[in-house]
Amino acid sequence: MKTFIVGNWKLNFNVGEASVYLHKIQRKIANYRDVEVVVAPTALCLQPLSLQLDRSKIKLAAQNAFYRDFGAFTGEISFAELKGLVNYCIIGHSERRYIFHEDDKMIAKKVAAAIRNGIRPILCIGEIESERAFGETADVIKDQLFGGLSEVSVEDISKVLIAYEPVWAISSTKDAKIATPDEIAEVVGLIRENLKEIYGAKIAEEVPILFGGSVKPTNAGAYLTVPGVNGLLIGGASLILDEFVDIIETAKRVK
């Protein structure tokens, strides 16, 4: 299985800045057959960046999209419009859940729409600090996982990536903490057990699981060696050229 390094640029970089940054990344990294590098710029940047993209080195992801393919939905961008433009889409990120109030029903529709349009969904799940403190992590993970995958068949689950992002460990969160490898390993184990319940043991082991939460060059190697972790979803560090390249190089060495 490949190692996936996904940079979520969130609401940063205008078109010109994103173009310059992508150019610099592509000059610094090689074509790694066993490491899939993905960047998720803002929606306005997707089309212009696709024209300069070296797809042998980097793939594009959308940060969000709407689940209907067309219709009277002012301001939305559909997965149908993104078809052929991006390879991946981040779905269910904690900021979409807690700032924009997306629920599991909405997220499930987006996952299905992505698959329908040939785009691999990166389904984000993770508990907040109070849920962990009250021992609710296993229940939250199960609910978000089953909810997000409720419209995904056995035939299509191989197209999905799961990203475990404990909200309490995201650097942009107030008073964020650092997740330890043992804490991550425990939840990744829970995710695979839940996948096993739905899709069987073989498939459960083949679904890529990424970790996201204050990932930096100093801890990327440790996170990538956690059993069952197949990659990283990176926020702030993906905006800093040397740090992002360092993490990519670390993934190659660990692989």
Catalytic residue among 81, 93, 102, 127: 93
Tell me the pLDDT tens digit for each residue of 23-82.
999 999 999 889 999 999 999 999 999 999 999 999 999 999 999 999 999 999 999 999
Tell me the pLDDT tens digit for each residue of 81-110.
999 999 999 999 999 999 999 999 999 999
Catalytic residue among 81, 127, 165, 249: 165
Give dist(CA 209, CA 164) in Å, integer.
Answer: 7
CATH topology of domain 3-254: TIM Barrel (3.20.20)
Tell me the pLDDT tens digit for each residue of 140-167.
999 999 999 999 999 999 999 999 999 8
Per-residue confidence (pLDDT) for residue 65, from 0 to 100: 98
pTM of the model: 0.96
Give dist(CA 99, CA 46) in Å, integer.
Answer: 23
* pLDDT mean over 160-185: 84
* In the chain, alpha helices (H): 15-28, 43-52, 79-82, 94-98, 104-116, 129-133, 137-148, 181-199, 201-206, 217-224, 241-254
Per-residue confidence (pLDDT) for residue 4, from 0 to 100: 98
165 is catalytic: yes
Per-residue confidence (pLDDT) for residue 201, from 0 to 100: 94
Q: How many residues are present in the chain?
A: 255
40, two tokens: 């998720």
Which of 196, 187, 83, 117 has its CA nearest to residue 149?
196
* pLDDT mean over 170-195: 86
Per-residue confidence (pLDDT) for residue 171, from 0 to 100: 62
183 is catalytic: no
CA distance readout (Å), 86 to 18, 227, 254: 16, 29, 27
Domain ranges for the chain, please list them: 3-254
Exposure string over 171-207, b if 16+ CB within 10 A, otherwise e: eebeebeebebebbbebbebbbebbeeebeeeebeeb
CB 67 within 8 A of CB 113: yes
Cα angle 147, 92, 14 (rounded to 5 degrees) comes to 165
Per-residue confidence (pLDDT) for residue 252, from 0 to 100: 95
